[in-house]
């Protein structure tokens, strides 16, 4: 084989490997787009499809560097830890997050590997050809070796992304099955039930009328329902299909129950909220919020959250620190939003300062 034939063979092989690596980078880009479209989706049931379409359209326009950054941010975070709290819900809200539970070492190594992958792709696209002399055997051999090393770095990330897509596909297959559809329908039905005004009122009563031991009387709750929503008790069976108030409460999955003997030999049915409000520390915090609200409520029905925050920091700092540690709350605002007992709005002063206002939920909203 003469030198000219040798150059042609090596050069053709280099061109083949350039195409191979480019194709693999394109596959990785497509996989990242697919994963980013589904690793974090959130919205109300009526808006979800439109939100998914807008999100997909934005992701399809992104370059590899942005895709990697979004993938790392969404996939290696705690579920929901970057999401803004939802203050108003007029209908069921759906949130899906796909995250990887990874240690710090794995996270840092994967983050660096994916960043290097972007650098490799940019180097192949923008910097390789100026260094390549197709008429030189030495240049061809050097580029050939470089392309093989690049492929070796690319393969683990390709396989990792492919494995995540396989997991997502398995989840999608389940959700499209009859069993998955039934589970989804049950979740939607439960979400509607938990937003039911009677259930919300029962949550309020469990806090505002709780005994020192944390339990509240169902008889008191029934009195409050008759007083505030006189027609709702009649709808238990005809409107909702429940034979009793307790059956509704059990179905909501919000409450614990306890039968207490009375002095006359009977029993008294008590209840309390779960899971957050069953902890005594949380109950004391909610009680403090309730007292602060009643003492500082304005004429428009709202109270400053900062006032409640200041009082809790003065009197219940240890309780608040313990609740934050147990449940991962970053602030008092996120804690009380999770209890679903409060509405929160922002108000801007004449000087441009933004304040948080709070109030107990109106069961009719």
CATH number, domain with residue 217: 3.30.420.610
pLDDT band at 87 (very low <50, low <70, confident <90, very high): very low
- The answer on 126 and 255 residing in a single domain is no
Give 287's strand partners. none
DSSP 174-238: HHHSHHHHHHHHHHHHHHHHHT-HHHHHHHHHHHHT--TTS-EEHHHHHHHHHHH-TTGGGHHHH
Length of the chain: 365
Q: Indicate whether 184 pLDDT > 80.
A: no
Distance, in Å, from the CA atom of 194 to the CA atom of 187, rounded to the nearest integer, reads 10
- The answer on 308 and 287 residing in a single domain is yes
Q: Average pLDDT in the 217-228 region? A: 86
Q: Average pLDDT in the 309-316 region? A: 89
- The answer on 239 and 176 residing in a single domain is no
Q: How many domains is the chain partitioned into structurally? A: 3
**How many C-beta atoms lie closer than 10 Å to residue 59's C-beta?**
17
Do 64 and 82 form a contact (C-beta atoms < 8 A)? Answer: no
Query: If we measure between CA atoms, which residue out of 263, 346, 299, 287 comes closest to residue 88?
Result: 346
Q: Is residue 106 part of a domain?
A: yes
User: 325-328 long-range CB contacts below 8 Å, 24 or more apart?
Assistant: 326/279, 326/281, 327/276, 328/78, 328/81
Cβ partners under 8 Å of residue 11, min gap 6: 134, 140
Distance, in Å, from the CA atom of 317 to the CA atom of 281, rounded to the nearest integer, reads 10
Token pair in block for residue 330: 């970053």
Distance, in Å, from the CA atom of 250 to the CA atom of 224, rounded to the nearest integer, reads 19
Q: How far is CA 115 from the centre of its chain?
A: 25
DSSP 348: E
Q: Is residue 73 part of a domain?
A: yes
Amino acid 16: pLDDT: 92
Query: Of 254, 274, 294, which closes a domain?
Result: 274
Angle at 350 between CA 349 and CA 356, to 5 degrees: 5
- The answer on 205 and 303 residing in a single domain is no
pLDDT band at 173 (very low <50, low <70, confident <90, very high): confident
pTM of the model: 0.50
Higher pLDDT, 128 or 92: 128
- The answer on 346 and 213 residing in a single domain is no
Structural domain that includes position 60: 3-187
Amino acid 55: pLDDT: 83
Amino acid 207: pLDDT: 74
Do 45 and 92 form a contact (C-beta atoms < 8 A)? Answer: yes
Q: Average pLDDT in the 117-132 region? A: 86
- The answer on 155 and 128 residing in a single domain is yes
Q: Is residue 365 part of a domain?
A: no
- The answer on 306 and 178 residing in a single domain is no
DSSP 254: -
Amino acid 47: pLDDT: 76
Distance, in Å, from the CA atom of 357 to the CA atom of 72, rounded to the nearest integer, reads 35
Token pair in block for residue 323: 């609740």
Q: Is residue 256 part of a domain?
A: yes
- The answer on 157 and 33 residing in a single domain is yes
Amino acid 197: pLDDT: 79
Token pair in block for residue 63: 């370059």
Amino acid 91: pLDDT: 58
- The answer on 229 and 123 residing in a single domain is no
- The answer on 125 and 86 residing in a single domain is yes
Q: Average pLDDT in the 235-250 region? A: 78
Distance, in Å, from the CA atom of 302 to the CA atom of 293, rounded to the nearest integer, reads 8
Query: Of 246, 274, 302, which closes a domain?
Result: 274
Could you give the C-alpha distances from 55 to 35, 42, 45, 52, 315, in angstroms and in order?
A: 12, 10, 16, 5, 45
Distance, in Å, from the CA atom of 230 to the CA atom of 223, rounded to the nearest integer, reads 9
Q: Indicate whether 329 pLDDT > 80.
A: no
- The answer on 161 and 44 residing in a single domain is yes
């Amino acid at each position: 084989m003469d030198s000219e034939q040798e150059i042609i063979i090596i050069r053709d092989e280099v061109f083949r490997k350039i195409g191979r690596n480019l194709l693999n980078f394109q596959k990785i880009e497509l996989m990242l787009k697919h994963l980013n479209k589904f690793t974090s989706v959130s919205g109300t049931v009526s808006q979800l499809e439109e939100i998914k379409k807008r999100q997909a359209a934005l992701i399809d326009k992104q370059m590899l560097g942005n895709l990697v950054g979004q993938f790392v941010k969404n996939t290696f975070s705690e579920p929901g830890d970057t999401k803004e709290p939802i203050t108003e819900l007029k209908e069921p809200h759906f949130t899906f997050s796909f995250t990887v539970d990874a240690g710090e070492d794995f996270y840092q190594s994967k983050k660096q590997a994916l960043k290097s992958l972007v650098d490799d792709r940019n180097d192949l696209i923008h910097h390789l050809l100026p260094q390549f002399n197709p008429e030189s055997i030495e240049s061809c051999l050097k580029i050939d070796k470089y392309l093989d090393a690049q492929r070796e770095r690319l393969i683990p990330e390709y396989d990792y992304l492919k494995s995540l897509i396989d997991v997502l596909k398995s989840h999608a297959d389940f959700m499209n099955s009859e069993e998955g559809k039934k589970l989804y329908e049950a979740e939607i039905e439960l979400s509607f039930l938990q937003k039911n005004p009677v259930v919300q009122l029962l949550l309020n009563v469990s806090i505002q009328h709780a005994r020192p031991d944390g339990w509240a009387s169902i008889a008191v709750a029934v009195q409050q329902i008759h007083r505030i929503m006189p027609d709702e008790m009649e709808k238990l069976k005809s409107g909702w299909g429940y034979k009793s108030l307790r059956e509704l409460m059990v179905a909501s999955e919000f409450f614990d129950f306890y039968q207490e003997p009375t002095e006359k030999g009977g029993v008294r049915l008590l209840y309390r909220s779960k899971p957050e409000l069953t902890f005594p520390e949380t109950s004391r915090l909610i009680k403090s919020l309730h007292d602060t609200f009643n003492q500082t409520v304005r004429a428009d029905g709202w109270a400053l959250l900062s006032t409640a925050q200041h009082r809790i920091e003065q009197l219940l700092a240890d309780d608040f620190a313990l609740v934050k540690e147990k449940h991962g709350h970053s602030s008092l605002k996120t804690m009380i939003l999770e209890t679903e007992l409060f509405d929160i709005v922002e108000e801007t002063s004449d000087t441009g300062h933004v304040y948080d206002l709070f109030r107990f939920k109106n069961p009719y909203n």
